[in-house]
Amino acid sequence: MHGNKDHQADQIRAISGAEDRKCMKCGKCSASCPSYDVMDVRPHQFVSYLRGGDIDAMLNAQSIWKCVSCFACVERCPQDVKPAQIIEAARLMVIRQQGENYLSPDDVPELLDPELPQQLLASAFRKYAK
């Protein structure tokens, strides 16, 4: 699903502009994070996973949807690593995965729900059917 690890790691570095190699593991990012308690993977772990090439752990983390992009970690990181931008890049990677988020017209009837606003379905179809 995720292809070449090194390539993906470099992609995240390119998207985020973050420099995981500068990290000195002080934990300031996690200590500053307001969403820390609800995260399965913590901000400092994202940096560590990127450094170690464990991209799957980042892309599968629920944390990428819990980060509120307050940028406290970016603001306070003494080494200018930019953890929030790594999380943002992971989010974009998941969204951009080719073919993984394809919605076929045949699948639509199954998703119909009387509670669901029609606009949502239409916009989801527009976004994921390309």
Contact status, residue 86 vs residue 47, Cβ threshold 8 Å: yes
- How many residues at the interface with other proteins, by CB under 8 A? 21
For residues 29 and 65, give the distance between their C-alpha atoms in angstroms, rounded to a whole number.
Answer: 17
Q: Is 42 in the site for other proteins (CB under 8 A)?
A: yes
Q: Which of 5, 21, 25, 127: binder of other proteins (CB under 8 A)?
A: 25
Q: Is 45 in the site for other proteins (CB under 8 A)?
A: yes
Q: Is 86 in the site for other proteins (CB under 8 A)?
A: no
Q: Is 22 in the site for other proteins (CB under 8 A)?
A: yes
Contact status, residue 125 vs residue 108, Cβ threshold 8 Å: yes
Q: Is 100 in the site for other proteins (CB under 8 A)?
A: no
Query: Which of 26/121 has CB closer to other proteins?
Result: 26
